[in-house]
């Protein structure tokens, strides 16, 4: 069989760029296709990431990719009476500029030897029998076929490539969040991410203010897919209701998108000759919807497994399942724990949330967010005695 590349990556966001780099570093010939003219743009993201990830992923952030440094987060109760500030090594982060950040990741892949095809949409998959054997992509406006031993689908929430290959990557409406965000100026910012919980203001989600500079911020809302009206309605209403915080703010950009917040895919993300990585495989934090670094982590793993098997001539599903086996022992375990927590959080009323905020201190809330449930459940005795209705909900965490 003649192949144009060992590995083809469809979609060159954080997952795809990391996959392309890892496969090229492993010695494969790699092509990465992205439909965008300019990688990273338009931005559809709050752009917040934890700094610890960069070391873990062996990735370096260029100063130019950083819009603002973050020392921690402020979590605000629905009634605004309680604010919890968490600052520790794990909350150190940055708000990146994804127009720079994504392009930097693609440049790293290019430097490692991957061939990058920007403005080249993948519109089909090639098959040899039941084996995925490449892609059909529009390059320079013309449809062309590119054969490869393995394909990595990293095309984000739309996840059309995996579906073209016959994998079911649909995220149900219940397990999908919708996010809308304005980039705003005249927003006074500290080096803290602000998170506002309120079922009334953001059902199954939260409102966020992520600083992008001294007076610039991403202001957004994420809500569950079954909610109506739409996320923009909730965001506009929240901004209008809080003139003390955003009265002078002006919108300079509108962004939005969907976020799969159900269980991350593992075995289901692997087919004959194909691996799915990143948001396309629902590898997103189910509570806050963050997925940039999770996508990078999964993409790197997908690139390594695809490369190893492409070089050995073993890109059948049985061999590529190594990706799922590694993923389910590590990242998926954490995400499934977070999913359990999300399912508890979404049952709480604003009244419950206000009571929890007033009973727990900063450390407890931090524990809760790190899924250290046992430590927190013990501390909640008094609260649970006064709110028997909460017992059943919270006991799901023990
Ligand atoms: C409103 C909102 C706010 C968010 N805020 C945060 C946040 O603050 N922090 C965080 O960590 N995460 C956040 N996320 C999630 C984060 O954006 C994603 O988890 C992350 O981008 C996933 O990376 P990815 O590489 O899997 O997919 P993407 O970043 O979506 O990249 C997919 C790439 O594939 C390309 N592509 C798609 N189809 C094709 C095709 N057919 N052919 C070729 N190329 C194709 C796209 O152009 C794109 O470049 C947010 C998401 C939303 C919607």
Instruction: Report strand pairing: 142-153 vs 176-185.
Output: unpaired
Q: Give the C-alpha separation, 210 to 185, whole Å.
A: 12
- Residue 334 and residue 298 in contact, taking contact as beta carbons nearer than 8 Å: no
Q: Helix, strand, coil % (nearest 5) of the chain? A: 40, 25, 35
Q: Is the pLDDT of residue 129 over 70?
A: yes
Residues 13/53, Cβ–Cβ less than 8 Å:
no
Q: Is 344 exposed, middle or buried (0-12, 13-18, 19+ CB in 10 A)?
A: middle
Q: Output DSSP code: residue 37.
A: S
Q: Average the pLDDT over 212-239 and give the result.
A: 94
- What average pLDDT does this structure show over 304-332? 98
Measuring CA to CA, how many Å separate 78 from each of 177, 191, 350? 20, 22, 6
**For range 154-159, the mean pLDDT:** 94
pLDDT tier at 77, thresholds 50, 70, 90: very high
Would you place residue 341 in the very low, low, confident or very high pLDDT band (cuts 50, 70, 90)?
confident
Question: Residues lining ligand 1, CB < 6 A?
Answer: 10-16, 33-36, 44-49, 121-122, 154-156, 158, 160, 179, 181, 220, 256-257, 259, 278-280, 284, 289-292, 295
Q: Whose CA is nearest to atom 5 of ligand 1?
A: 46
> Would the pLDDT of 245 be above 80?
yes
Average pLDDT over residues 331-340: 94
Residue 177: per-residue pLDDT: 95
* Closest residue CA from atom 38 of ligand 1: 155
Tell me whether the omega of the peptide bond preceding residue 229 falls within 30 degrees of 0, making it cis. Answer: yes
CA of 235 to the centre of ligand 1 (A): 21
Dist. CA 279 → ligand 1 center (Å): 7
Question: 98 pLDDT exceeds 70?
Answer: yes
Residue nearest to atom 37 of ligand 1 (CA): 155
The lowest-confidence range among 228-232, 250-254, 323-327, 373-377 is 373-377
> In the chain, where are the structural domains located?
5-47+97-171+262-320, 176-260, 338-395
Sheet holding 192-196, edge to edge: 83-86, 72-76, 192-196, 206-211, 216-224, 176-185, 250-260
CATH fold for the domain made of 176-260? D-Amino Acid Oxidase; Chain A, domain 2 (3.30.9)
Instruction: Identify which of 8, 13, 136, 160 to mutate to test ligand 1's pocket (most ligand atoms within 8 A of the CB).
Output: 13
22, 7 contact by CB (below 8 A): no
SS3 assignment, position 367: helix
pLDDT of 370 higher than 80: no
Q: What is the mean pLDDT of residues 312-334?
A: 97
**Nearest Cα to Cα of residue 14 among 396, 372, 252, 303:** 303
- What CATH homologous superfamily does 5-47+97-171+262-320 map to? FAD/NAD(P)-binding domain (3.50.50.60)
Per-residue pLDDT for 392 more than 90? no
Q: What is the DSSP letter of 307?
A: H
What percentage of the chain reaches a pLDDT higher than 90?
A: 81
Atom of ligand 1 nearest to the CA of 137: 42
The atom number, within ligand 1, closest to the CA of 122 reads 42
Residue 113 has pLDDT above 90, yes or no: yes
């Amino acid at each position: 069989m003649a192949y144009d590349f060992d590995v083809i990556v469809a979609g060159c966001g954080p997952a795809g760029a990391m996959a392309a780099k890892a496969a090229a570093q492993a010695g494969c010939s790699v092509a990465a296709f992205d439909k965008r003219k300019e990688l990273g743009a338009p931005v559809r993201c709050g752009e917040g990431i934890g700094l610890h990830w960069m070391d873990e992923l062996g990735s370096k952030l260029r100063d130019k990719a950083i819009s603002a440094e973050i020392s921690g987060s402020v979590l605000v109760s629905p009634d605004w009476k309680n604010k919890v500030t968490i600052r520790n090594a794990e909350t150190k982060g940055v708000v990146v500029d994804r127009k720079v950040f994504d392009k930097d990741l693609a440049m790293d892949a290019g430097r490692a030897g991957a061939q990058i095809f920007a403005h080249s949409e993948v519109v089909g998959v090639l098959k040899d029998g039941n084996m995925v054997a490449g892609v059909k992509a529009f390059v320079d406006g013309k449809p062309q076929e590119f054969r490869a031993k393995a394909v990595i689908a990293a095309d984000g929430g739309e996840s059309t490539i995996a579906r073209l290959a016959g994998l079911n990557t649909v995220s149900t409406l219940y397990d999908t969040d919708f996010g809308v965000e304005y980039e705003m100026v005249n927003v006074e910012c500290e080096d803290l991410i602000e998170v506002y919980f309120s079922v009334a203001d953001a059902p199954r989600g939260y409102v966020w203010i992520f600083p992008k500079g001294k007076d610039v911020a991403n202001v957004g809302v994420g809500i569950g897919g079954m909610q109506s009206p739409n996320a923009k309605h909730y965001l506009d209403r929240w901004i209008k209701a809080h003139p003390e915080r955003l009265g002078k703010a002006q919108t300079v950009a509108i962004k939005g998108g969907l976020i799969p917040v159900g269980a991350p895919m593992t075995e289901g993300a692997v087919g004959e000759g194909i691996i799915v990585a990143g948001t396309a495989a629902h590898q997103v934090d189910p509570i806050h919807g963050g997925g940039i670094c999770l996508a990078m982590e999964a993409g790197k793993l997908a690139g390594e497994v695809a490369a190893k098997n492409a070089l050995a001539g073993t890109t059948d599903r049985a061999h590529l399942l190594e990706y799922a086996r590694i993923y389910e022992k590590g990242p998926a375990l954490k995400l499934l724990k977070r999913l359990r927590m999300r399912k508890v959080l979404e049952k709480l009323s604003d009244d419950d949330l206000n009571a929890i905020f007033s009973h727990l201190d900063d450390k407890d809330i931090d524990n809760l967010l790190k899924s250290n449930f046992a430590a927190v459940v013990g501390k909640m005795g008094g609260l649970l005695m006064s709110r028997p209705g909460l017992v059943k909900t919270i006991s799901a965490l023990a």
